Structure 1
Amino acid sequence: MPTTLPIPIQFVLPEGWRPAPPDEVGAPDAAFVALHPEPDGGFTANITIDGDFWSAEEETLADIADGSVERLRRSLGAVQVAGRRPLGSDDSPGLAQRLTLTAVVGGVQRELVQSQVYLAMQDVADPRKRVVIRLILTVTAAQEDAVGADFQEFLRSVAPDPGTPGTETGGGA
């Protein structure tokens, strides 16, 4: 069963991307998954979204990102942090990191790239709640440049959803 985000967000998917049920595409911990329309050699680029409550006093965004890398290393082995940089402002911090990894997907060993973006947000219904939303693009190394522009477009559309409290992630085409 897919997870829900701690606060509702809204976003717009780039043209051609389609939502997919997280459980059916092997991402049961994701709140949302979108698939690219053109697979590369049998691998479909994807965007996943998840998130959790955050205590900025107890851990930094870098700590959270380090935890993601360690979880990937435990399941895949070969994971390298190729770059990391802060985003946003003191009031609305973020962090981006680029990972290179080797994974067996569909019985085939693949060289993949993940772009992970961590966004700290406040719940618009309850500003005392702070969360971190993690947005991940996973692509083959060959697709990175072409699909990366779609991911940047997607990231620019992500925002807290001022709509009905308690709703899940928004989305659209």
Structure 2
Amino acid sequence: MASTLPVPIEFELPDGWHAAPPDDVGAADAAFVALYPHADSGFTANITIDGEYRPDESTLSEIAHESVERLRQAATTVVVTGDRELGSAEAPGFTQTLAVSANVGGAPRELLQSQVYLAMLDDDDPRKRAVVRLVLTATASQHPAVLDDFRDFVRTVRPDSAATS
């Protein structure tokens, strides 16, 4: 069953991308999934969103490393090819790029993942922290073609100011 986010967010999908029910596309841990309209060698590039409350002292870099370790349990190989902090103290973020070799749908795949971690802090108590993870997964050959779409998408993600708590 699809997960829910710890905080409401809003965003805009890039042109052509369409939402898909997480359970229907095998992404039960995701709260949201968007699919690219053109598959590459039988693999459809996708954007997933998930998140959790993280009131602990872990840095976004450490949380990203935890994600890599979980992915290593399901993939043949996972290599971090780049990472960096982004944002500000009030709106911290972290990004990492992974090269992933995995068996997907019965076929070996060489994939690239671009992951963005956004910390959303409670205005009254910054120790109350939710971390939202945005992930682009694409074949290594298609990744350059969809990366700008993902960057555009990330720029639109923000707390949903219309949501009630």
TM bucket (normalised to shorter chain) is: over 0.9
Q: What SS does the corresponding residue of 1:90 show, helix, strand or coil?
A: coil
Name the structure 2 match of 1:112: 111
Distance 2:92 2:163 in 1: 25
Aligned positions of 1:128-167 closer than 5 A: 129-166=128-165
Report how far residue 122 of structure 1 moved.
2.7
Name the structure 2 match of 1:9: 9
Unpaired runs of 5+ residues, structure 1, are 167-173
Distance 2:156 2:112 in 1: 22
Distance 1:46 1:53 in 2: 24
> Structure 2 vs 1, CA of residues 77 and 104 (structure 1 numbering), >3 Å: closer, same or farther?
closer
Distance 2:93 2:48 in 1: 17
Q: Would you say how many aligned residue pairs link Structure 1 and Structure 2?
A: 164
- Structure 1 counterpart of 2:111, which letter? L
Name the structure 1 match of 2:45: 45
Report how far residue 77 of structure 1 moved.
3.1
Contact 2:5 2:52 in 1 (8 A): yes
Contact 1:17 1:34 in 2 (8 A): yes
Q: CA RMSD in A?
A: 1.4
Unpaired runs of 5+ residues, structure 2, are none
Q: What do the CA deviations read for 1:30-66 (whole angstroms, capped 9, x no partner)?
A: 00000000000100000000001122x5211111001
Q: What do the CA deviations read for 1:116-163 (whole angstroms, capped 9, x no partner)?
A: 000011357x76532110000000011111100100110110000011
Contact 1:7 1:123 in 2 (8 A): no
Aligned positions of 1:76-95 closer than 5 A: 76-95=75-94
Percent identity over the alignment?
58
* Greater relative contact order (Cα < 8 A, sep 6+): 1
After TM superposition, the runs of 4+ consecutive aligned structure 1 residues lying more than 6 A away are none
Contact 2:20 2:33 in 1 (8 A): yes
Contact 1:123 1:160 in 2 (8 A): no
Distance 1:111 1:33 in 2: 20
1:58 corresponds to 2:57 = yes
Report how far residue 8 of structure 1 moved.
0.2
Contact 1:22 1:30 in 2 (8 A): yes
- Structure 2 counterpart of 1:75, which letter? A
Deviates more, 1:132-141 or 1:104-113: 104-113
Q: What SS does the corresponding residue of 2:14 show, helix, strand or coil?
A: coil
Alignment TM-score, normalising by the size of structure 2: 0.95
